[in-house]
Chains A and B, each alone.
Chain A
Amino acid sequence: MTPILEIQAVSKKFNIHHEGGPYLSLRDKITGFAKFKSSQKSDEEFWALKDVSFNVMPGESIGIIGKNGAGKSTLLKILSKITPPSSGKIISRGRIASLLEVGTGFHPELTGRENVYLNGSILGMRKKEIDARFEEIVDFAGTEKFLDTPLKHYSSGMQLRLAFAVAAFLEPEILVIDEVLAVGDAEFQKKCLGKMEDVSKSGRTILFVSHNMSAVESLCSKSILLKNGQLHFSGSSTDVIQQYMNSLDSQALDKTGVILLDDSNKPVRKVEILCDGKNSGTAYMGCKLEIRIYFKSDEKLDAPVLGIILKDSQGIPMIGVNNKNYVGNLASQPVSDGYISMTIPYLTLFEGTYHADIHFGNGFKDIEVLRDCFQIVVESISFTTSGELPDKKLNRLFIKDIAWSLNAK
């Protein structure tokens, strides 16, 4: 069978300008001419993608995973024709629709109905197609009542639902999706995933980028792992995810359980782990685990929010909590400097290595997200009379105190 998509030695180079703003000004260009070579030295080449090749067969769903900056988004942008590759080529034997963002082109002043047409048209749907599917789109989004209300009066959740609904009814041969599922409530995420599974079952080809490993695993049979712009590993999603989790250089804790984060422009400065009240580089099953996140920000925060997600070696979230849900606002007055402490009195994680994501926010949105910020090793303890631990394959959670009894007749 011929591949529907052939990616052949694709590379993308960016020139980084060390001087001046993010875009050129005419003055820089003019003075650049005057200075000749001296100004060119400030340009540095950066290869966002280097020699990436792989084939995709019709009907396959491929997950693309890698750390931030590994080149995932650049690859998607090249596939979507938004930016050209610097070298190499891609052969496509189907129409490609890309969904790098939901709600591209949504305008707050226009009504829901108007935005459906505008967005659908930007995504490449014809007016006839939108007319035909309009009812379904609105039904899927569940926003019938507000169709003639300007979008600016929608809640962010409603906007998102409407946006995804439009995108869900695209019908290209190849669908390229960037982390669009990272948002929205759990129920809606489930709906989206379900819709994407339908799409994939209908025989269309999907390329899916996500940090959500369980979503990648359930949706894609095969995956590729990008590392520093290069294709690092490809194979079955399970293998690739395993490889990815192992390769994470989320900082291992030192003996004192402290991690200093160097970026002084970002609020989160230091992470400290305490096991049973003492600074420690490791935890053990059943311990009292305290995680302290030190922050310092330029502006005062009315309600700082700390969210922590602990993921196992497969990238599956085991614990995901934030103080906003649990106890609400922790601050009695606005703060700009301090630490938030989270204590789990009895750690029910099984032995293994866990990677932690930290979300630090102001109560409305995340100010800083640290993916795989640190890893914590949970050591086993001996508590069974046999000295053996319960089968690891059957247990995700550790429960020490289980009462057993036998009642013989």
Chain B
Amino acid sequence: MDVKKVDDFYFEIKPKLAFSLNLKELVEYKELFYFFTWRDVKVKYKQTALGFLWAVLQPLIMMVIFTFFIGKAMKVPSDDMDYPIFAFSGLILWTVFSSGITNAGNSMVSNAQIIKKIYFPRLVIPISSILVSVFDFLIAFLVFIVLLLVYQQPIHFVQAFILWPTGLVVAVIATFGPGCLLAALNVKYRDFRYVIPFLVQAFLFLTPVIYPISIVSNPWLKYLLALNPMYAAITIFRMPMMNSAPDMTLLWVSLSSGVILFFIGLTYFRKTEMYFADLA
């Protein structure tokens, strides 16, 4: 065997590697992201009569309910938009977060059989679960476009081209942090399988999905709500439909909170992943 070939594959297996992101390895396994996401999407819609429609129906029905009870009955304002547009734009992004952290949070446990039998970068699993939610978002997004046409919502096109994708990326980052954190914690403490649904439900009301943050008058309460990383994602996504600019301070608070959570989640996951196979 020639020397170069030997060097190419040289590696050591040691007790505990120092913390490293090891992006190179993640890139090596890029196809696995695709296959896991593809598997979950396929399995999710197999043997369902309505198939991909489910990705649309859930936010759509929620939107109808909220329009009647929150928009019409309680007359909650909706930042220059028709309330259905306001609610749906919030809900489709919210669904990325809620289904993303639910699936990511349970992903390590539900893939325990694979984790115990084969090595690959463990991050592939929660990230792929989040990508499944992104896929659902893309389908629901088409319906969103239809709704915009139906309600003849005026849009800033240039902003939309930049801010819609930005909103999605911010939402994915906001989902990634808590998702990875919960995935890792769930392996060790199964209590978190009860925490996750509760968390998702509570956060729906703590996120300006169905009401604008402007109805909160107490400034401190506003900052508290802005700590929620999804606030930024939803606000950025709605900006092309709004006439007035959002409060930039609140936006930065929310963005920073998302990035900090991202690194907390990533670090904790990376630190504990070596022992997943022993605990799962």
Interfacial residues, chain A to chain B (CB-CB below 8 A): 2, 14, 23-27, 29, 58, 77-95, 98, 100-101, 104-105, 107, 109-110, 114, 117-118, 121-124, 126-127, 150, 173
Contact = CB atoms under 8 A, between A and B. Distances in A.
Contacts of B46: 109-110, 150
B247 interface: no
Interface string B95-126: 00000000000000000011111111000000
B252 interface: no
Contact of A118 (B17, B35, B116): B35
Contacts of B31: 121, 126-127
A121 B118 CA distance: 11
B147 to A, nearest CB: 32
B277 interface: yes
Given A82-B277, A85-B15, A101-B117, 12 more contacts: A79-B13, A80-B118, A81-B119, A82-B115, A83-B274, A88-B15, A91-B10, A105-B114, A109-B46, A109-B47, A122-B114, A122-B120
Interface stretch (B149-157, B185-193, B196-204): B185-193
B32 A173 contact: no
Interface string B1-40: 1000010011111111100000000000001100100010
A91 B32 CA distance: 26
A110 B39 CA distance: 8
Given A107-B43, A109-B43, A84 B118 contact: no
A79 B277 CA distance: 13
A124 B189 contact: no
Contacts of A122: 32, 35, 114, 118, 120
Chain B at the A interface: SS class: mixed
Nearest to A120: B35
A257 B165 CA distance: 77
Interface of B: 1, 6, 9-17, 31-32, 35, 39, 42-43, 46-47, 113-120, 188-191, 274-275, 277-279
A29 B46 CA distance: 40
Among B12, B31, B191, find the residue whose CB has the most chain A CB atoms closer than 10 A: B31
7 contacts: A83-B274, A90-B13, A104-B117, A105-B113, A105-B118, A122-B32, A122-B35
Given A25-B191, A92-B13, A104-B113, A83 B118 contact: no
B189 A89 contact: no
Nearest to B28: A124
Contacts of A58: 1
A80 B42 CA distance: 29
A104 B191 CA distance: 27
Given A26-B191, A98-B119, A92 B39 contact: no
B185 to A, nearest CB: 9
A23 B190 contact: yes
A83 B117 contact: no
Contact of A25 (B12, B13, B189): B189
A87 B16 CA distance: 9
Contacts of B11: 91-92
Contact of A85 (B1, B14, B116): B14
B123 to A, nearest CB: 14
Contacts of A25: 189-191
Q: Give the 4 A-B CB pairs with smallest separation, nearest first.
A: A81-B119, A90-B13, A26-B191, A121-B35
Contacts of A14: 278
